[in-house]
């Protein structure tokens, strides 16, 4: 066989290899592009599936060490007034305390702000209200199959709610519980709209109503809690 023929055969074999390899490379690249493009969209649905049907959030990071923390334990401050200028006010995502509900298994880190990510970290304080001691209504929510797992079944009228923050200790008492549709703002809006006053210090803790073992629901279980004790923040000093 002539040298030219040998070269031509080699070129043909190389082309055949290219035809076999290149489609595989393009297919792999296509899968990678689809994965990268749709992962942000798919992740929330995967998270919802875990929460709704398994209660497993371990892969989402429920460890309070994963977030910024300004909480170092009990301050020993249970009453009196605190100057606003003397406290380390929490910012978005800060772990700044704990919440414990008497007669339940609720004992969770308290997080400032509420979002899909933060709700996987602990009990979240909504920006619609205030923080404990601010003479406003404090709104705290958490998932019904993690941090507020038994609020609906065990958070009884009269139970005390203890909130420890980085600036003081607070106690509230559950005075009412109700189930309301998630779009029914009348369930809590009258408390949110009250004027700032020590007499109006109030706490609302809530979670999704658990229906037939499924955690995702259009309804919310609310526990309304009156203020019992804790230092008040002087916002003007």
Which domain CATH number covers 194? Answer: 2.40.260.10
Indicate whether 143 and 26 sit together in one domain. Answer: no
Could you tell me which residues come within 8 angstroms of residue 22 by beta carbon, excluding any fewer than 6 positions away? Answer: none
Lowest mean pLDDT among 18-32, 59-73, 213-227: 18-32
Indicate whether 48 and 69 sit together in one domain. Answer: no
Q: List for the chain the helix, strand, coil content (%; round to 5).
A: 35, 30, 40
pLDDT score, position 221: 94
3-state DSSP of 97-114:
EEEEECCCCCEEEEEECC
Indicate whether 17 and 37 sit together in one domain. Answer: yes
Indicate whether 83 and 16 sit together in one domain. Answer: no
Could you give the number of structural domains in the chain?
2
Indicate whether 161 and 78 sit together in one domain. Answer: yes
pLDDT score, position 159: 97
Neighbour count for residue 56 (Cβ, 10 Å): 13
Distance CA 110, CA 99 (A): 6
How large is the average pLDDT for residues 56-73?
60
The model carries a pTM of 0.71
Indicate whether 160 and 62 sit together in one domain. Answer: yes
**Digit-coded pLDDT (tens) for 152-178:** 999 999 999 999 999 999 999 999 999
pLDDT score, position 1: 53
Indicate whether 99 and 5 sit together in one domain. Answer: no
Q: For the chain, what is the mean pLDDT?
A: 80
Could you tell me which residues come within 8 angstroms of residue 69 by beta carbon, excluding any fewer than 6 positions away? Answer: 94, 95, 96
Last residue of a domain, one of 28, 54, 80: 54
**Digit-coded pLDDT (tens) for 190-208:** 888 877 777 889 999 999 9
Indicate whether 74 and 112 sit together in one domain. Answer: yes
Q: Give the range of the structural domain holding residue 29, as residue numbers without chain letter.
A: 1-54
Distance CA 230, CA 185 (A): 28
Indicate whether 183 and 81 sit together in one domain. Answer: yes
90-93 LR contacts (CB < 8 Å, sep 24+)? 90/125, 90/131, 90/166, 93/67, 93/68, 93/118
Lowest mean pLDDT among 56-65, 130-139, 142-151: 56-65
Whether 126 shows a pLDDT value over 90: the answer reads yes
Indicate whether 9 and 99 sit together in one domain. Answer: no
Residue 54 structure tokens: 């398994």
Last residue of a domain, one of 10, 27, 54: 54
Helix extents (H) in 50-185: 151-154
pLDDT confidence tier of residue 235, bands split at 50, 70 and 90: confident
How large is the average pLDDT for residues 28-49?
49
Last residue of a domain, one of 27, 54, 81: 54
Indicate whether 42 and 132 sit together in one domain. Answer: no
């Amino acid at each position: 066989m002539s040298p030219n023929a040998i070269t031509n055969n080699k070129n043909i074999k190389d082309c055949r290899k290219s035809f076999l390899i290149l489609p595989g490379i393009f297919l792999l690249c296509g899968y990678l592009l689809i994965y990268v493009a749709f992962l942000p969209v798919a992740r929330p649905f995967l998270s919802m599936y875990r929460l709704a049907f398994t209660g497993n959030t371990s892969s989402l990071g429920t460890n309070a060490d994963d977030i910024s923390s300004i909480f170092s334990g009990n301050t020993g401050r249970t009453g009196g007034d605190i100057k606003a200028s003397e406290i380390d006010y929490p910012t978005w995502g800060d772990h700044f305390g704990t919440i414990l509900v008497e007669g339940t298994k609720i004992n969770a880190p308290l997080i400032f702000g509420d979002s899909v990510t933060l709700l996987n970290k602990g009990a979240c304080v909504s920006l619609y209200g205030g923080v404990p001691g601010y003479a406003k209504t404090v709104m705290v929510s958490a998932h019904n199959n993690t941090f507020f797992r038994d609020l609906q079944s065990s958070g009884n009228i009269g139970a005390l709610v203890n909130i420890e923050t980085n600036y003081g200790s607070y106690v509230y008492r559950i005075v009412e519980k109700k189930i309301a549709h998630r779009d029914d703002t009348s369930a809590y809006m009258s408390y949110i709209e009250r004027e700032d006053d020590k007499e109006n210090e109030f706490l609302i803790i809530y979670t999704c109503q658990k229906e037939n073992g499924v955690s995702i629901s259009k309804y919310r279980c609310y526990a309304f809690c009156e203020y019992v004790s804790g230092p008040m923040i002087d916002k003007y000093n």
